[in-house]
Structure 1
Amino acid sequence: MKFTNKDALLFDLDGTLIDSVPDLALSINQMLNALDMKPYPTDIIRSWVGNGAEVLTKRALSGSIEISPDLNTAYVEKALSIFLTYYEQNVCVETTLYPNVKSTLETLHRSGYRLVIVTNKPEQFVRPILKHLGLNDLFEMVVGGDSLPKRKPDPMQLTYVCETLGVAPSNCLMIGDSKNDIFAATAAQMQSVGLTYGYNHGEDINSHGASLILDNFADIIDALVPATELVD
């Protein structure tokens, strides 16, 4: 499949551009230690990532991807505050880019596409990560999980980007690794790309209705038809 007439490319962050699990796991386990709770292996915490900091905290407190209905609200708020404090200290210690991400983004930026981050990660952490990894100047806009009242899979973030940039949803493409990205795009009437290598809680990304599924981030370039080619 080839995408035509795309002006803006919206990218999820964790599991799409970066593997942040090592730093998230470190910070979650530091939080659990501070609360006198047992830590968990990184691979377990990896399966909990993808729905924002509060959900990750609740899963850690529950010891499961299924959040316990018995969690005390005040206790969750305390734990979340502890986690965010530790994560701020560890935000880009072992976080790495996935293969071909930087070169592909640079190519897309040079080609004139408007690049945007749409993530469920709290906004305060996004720019420091982008800066540390040398990506900050490539993105025109960042929308975090706490930037608006609702976040993916709700379409609010995507709709906000369209309105702010003055671009129709049909001229945008959402690129992510989880069903939250795909569902948000569908609800915003936007086409989407699902990447197979990220965080999708063990579910097959093929099953969520993405317009295109890719294994390699670099293949996004070949999936886009530049406006110059359409004219030719």
Structure 2
Amino acid sequence: MIIVNKQVLLFDLDGTLVDSAPDLAAAVNQTLIHFDREPFPETTVRNWVGNGALTLISRGLSGDKNVDPRLSQTLVDDALAVFLDFYEQCVCDKSKLYPNVKDTLLALKAQGYRLGIITNKPEKFVAPMLDGLGLAGIFELILGGDSLAERKPHPLPLFTACKWFEVSADQCVMIGDSKNDILAAKAAKMDSIGLTYGYNYDEDLAIHQPNHLFSDFNELLSVLKDIQEPA
């Protein structure tokens, strides 16, 4: 089914546009070593990505996707600061775009769509990543996980984007790889498209019922057609 009458496409970043797990894992492991803890394989850290830096480093300290409630808040705060410093040094060392991302984004923009990013990554890391991967200038709006009082799966970032673009929720589509993206879209009464290749904690994204679910980014072009000018 073709998605029509949309003006704005909102994209998640990590796991949707960019495979950032190698650099995130490196920064997590440097942090753990700094605190005399054992590092983890990148494959393990991949399953911890998606809920922002605080949750990621808390999972690292816990050694598990489920954060240990016994963790000292002081330790978590100290580790977060160290992690952010390490990550700033390697934010785009080994991260790379998923296949077909850049060409598809440029094609969508050429069709007349306006593009924004809504991510749970701290905002200060987004622009350097986009610059490093050749995506600078494509997105009109960037909202990070610390840009507002709430982050996905809360709908506030999506509502904020609608207000900024001066459109209604039914004129937008949220596109992402995790349940946070789909749940945020549902809470905002916005259509959503899920991507199966990213970071979703080994959970089948289909159970959250996005409007469409694809395994390749360029499949967006098969449903995002026939953009119409607002009345």
Same topology, TM > 0.5: yes
User: How far does residue 228 in structure 1 lie from its aligned partner after superposition?
Assistant: 5.7
Alignment root-mean-square deviation, CA: 1.0
Is residue 54 of structure 1 aligned with residue 65 of structure 2? Answer: no
Deviation at residue 74 of structure 1 after TM alignment = 1.3
Which residue does 1:199 correspond to in 2? 199
Once residues 198 and 29 of structure 1 are traced to their aligned partners in structure 2, the CA distance between those partners, rounded to angstroms, is: 21
C-alpha distance in structure 1 between counterparts of 2:227 and 2:29, whole Å = 48
State the identity as a percent.
51
Name the residue aligned to 1:129: 129
CA contact (8 A) 1:4 1:224 kept: yes
Which SS does the other structure have where 1:108 is aligned? helix
Change over 3 Å in CA distance of 1:66–1:108 after alignment to 2: same
Shift of 1:110: 1.2
Checking the alignment, whether the CA contact within 8 Å between 1:23 and 1:93 is kept in structure 2 is yes
Q: Alpha-carbon deviations, 1:123-166, whole Å to 9, x = none?
A: 00000000111111100000000000100000000000001110
- The one-letter code of the counterpart of 1:100 is N
Structure 1 equivalent of residue 34 of structure 2:
34
Task: State the SS of the aligned residue for 1:181.
Answer: helix
Partner in structure 2 of residue 86 of structure 1: 86
Q: Secondary structure at the match of 1:67?
A: coil
SS for the counterpart of 1:194 is strand
Q: Which runs of 5+ in 2 are unaligned?
A: none
Contact 2:113/2:227 (CA < 8 Å) preserved in 1? no
The answer on whether the counterparts of 1:150 and 1:157 sit within 8 Å (CA) in structure 2 is yes
Aligned residues, how many?
A: 229
Q: In 2, distance between residues paired with 1:100 and 1:227?
A: 21
How far, CA to CA, are the matches of 2:215 and 2:98 in structure 1?
A: 11
Residues 172-194 of structure 1, C-alpha deviation per residue, up to 9 Å, x if partnerless? 00000000000000000000000
Amino acid at match of 1:57: I
- The residue that corresponds to 1:168 in the other structure is 168
CA contact (8 A) 2:6 2:228 kept: no
Task: Work out whether 1:148 is the aligned partner of 2:174.
Answer: no
Q: CA deviation at 1:24?
A: 0.3
What is the alpha-carbon distance in structure 1 between the residues aligned to residue 111 and residue 194 of structure 2? 22
Question: 3-state SS of the aligned residue for 1:4?
Answer: coil
Aligned positions of 1:59-78 closer than 5 A: 59-78=59-78
Amino acid at match of 1:153: P
Gaps of 5+ in 1: none
Corresponding residue number in structure 2 for 1:111: 111
Corresponding position: 1:212 with 2:225: no
**Separation in 2, partners of 1:32, 1:125:** 21
- Cα-to-partner distance string for 1:22-65 (whole Å, 9 max, x where unaligned): 00000000000110110001000011111100000100000000
- TM-score, structure 1 as length reference: 0.97
Give 1:135's aligned amino acid.
L
Q: Offset of 1:226 from its aligned partner?
A: 1.6
**Structure 1 segments (4+ residues) deviating >3 Å:** none
Q: Which residue in 2 is equivalent to 1:223?
A: 223
Aligned position for 2:10? 10
Equivalent pair of 1:5/1:225 in contact (CA under 8 Å): no
The answer to whether the 8 Å contact 2:7/2:228 transfers is no
